[in-house]
């Protein structure tokens, strides 16, 4: 498998974690999101993913999967061990809810493409953009903090999709200097996950394209 990604992309970070948890080997192909006007917009990558975003996972069959949650669902179905979702339907719904707070509510509003639009098209000052970023992280994290189950992980004793989505968002929050003192459960879950080799190997600073 080939994973097209960028070391700081939280969506690509999620897929790296999932691949590592499953013990699946993959070749990392870097797509720099800001260099050369954004390498994701180059014709060669457009041919791989017409949406021009990372991650994209090229399978040995030649098929290409896009969208991190769709990729992770595929991996969990085809390589079921260890499972990333609980066996119980109610518990699966709870895990998915936490994951989607990150992937569907926080991340789209704070993704690079949205921030660039605020700056380049709407001409907002950087301080305003930073305030926007902080607002949506804090709103989402406030809900997550209230919904988390007793640890060590976001939904209890086992790593799930919720952790896979949360950890990259915590990395981004720290990078953009979002205060996390009001979110001790989130900080504790992140710390527990970072002790696992699958999460540590996936960290942005441990990627071959890290700057």
Adjacency order of strands within the sheet including 27-30: 27-30, 2-5, 56-58, 64-66
User: Which helix H or strand E contains 3, and what residues bound it?
Assistant: strand 2-5
Q: What would the pLDDT profile of 72-123 be if each residue is shown by its tens digit?
A: 999 999 999 999 999 999 999 999 999 999 999 999 999 999 999 999 999 9
5: its two tokens? 């990604």
Q: What would the pLDDT profile of 128-178 be if each residue is shown by its tens digit?
A: 999 999 999 999 999 999 999 898 999 999 999 999 999 999 999 999 999
Distance CA 204, CA 211 (A): 9
Q: How far is CA 115 from CA 38, 46, 101, 142, in A?
A: 14, 21, 19, 22
Backbone angles phi, psi at 30, to 5 degrees: -80, 135
Which of the listed CATH numbers 1.20.1050.10, 3.30.70.270, 3.60.21.10, 3.40.50.2000 matches domain 89-198? 1.20.1050.10
Q: How far is CA 95 from CA 4, 67, 127, 144, in A?
A: 26, 18, 34, 11
> Domain ranges in the chain?
2-82, 89-198
| Domain 2-82: top CATH class | alpha beta
pLDDT score recorded for residue 37: 92
Query: Using N-to-C axis directions, what is the helix angle for 161-175 and 89-100, rounded to 10°?
Result: 20
């Amino acid at each position: 498998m080939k994973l097209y990604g960028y070391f700081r992309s939280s969506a690509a970070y999620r897929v790296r974690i999932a691949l590592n948890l499953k013990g699946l080997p993959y070749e990392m192909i870097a797509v720099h999101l800001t260099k050369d006007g954004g390498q994701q917009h180059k014709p060669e990558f457009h041919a791989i993913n017409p949406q021009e975003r990372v991650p994209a996972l090229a399978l040995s069959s030649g098929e290409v999967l896009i969208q991190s949650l769709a990729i992770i669902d595929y991996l969990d179905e085809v390589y079921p061990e260890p499972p990333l979702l609980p066996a119980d339907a109610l518990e699966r719904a709870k895990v998915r809810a936490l994951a989607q707070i990150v992937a569907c509510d926080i991340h789209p509003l704070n993704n690079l493409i949205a921030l660039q639009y605020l700056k380049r098209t709407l001409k907002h000052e950087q301080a305003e953009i930073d305030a926007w970023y902080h607002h949506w992280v804090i709103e989402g994290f406030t809900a997550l903090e209230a919904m988390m189950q007793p640890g060590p992980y976001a939904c209890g004793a086992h790593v799930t999709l919720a952790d896979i989505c949360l950890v990259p968002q915590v990395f981004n929050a720290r990078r953009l200097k979002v205060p996390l003192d009001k979110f001790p459960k989130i900080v504790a879950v992140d710390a527990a996950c970072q002790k696992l080799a699958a999460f540590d190997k996936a960290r942005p600073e441990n990627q071959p394209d890290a700057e």
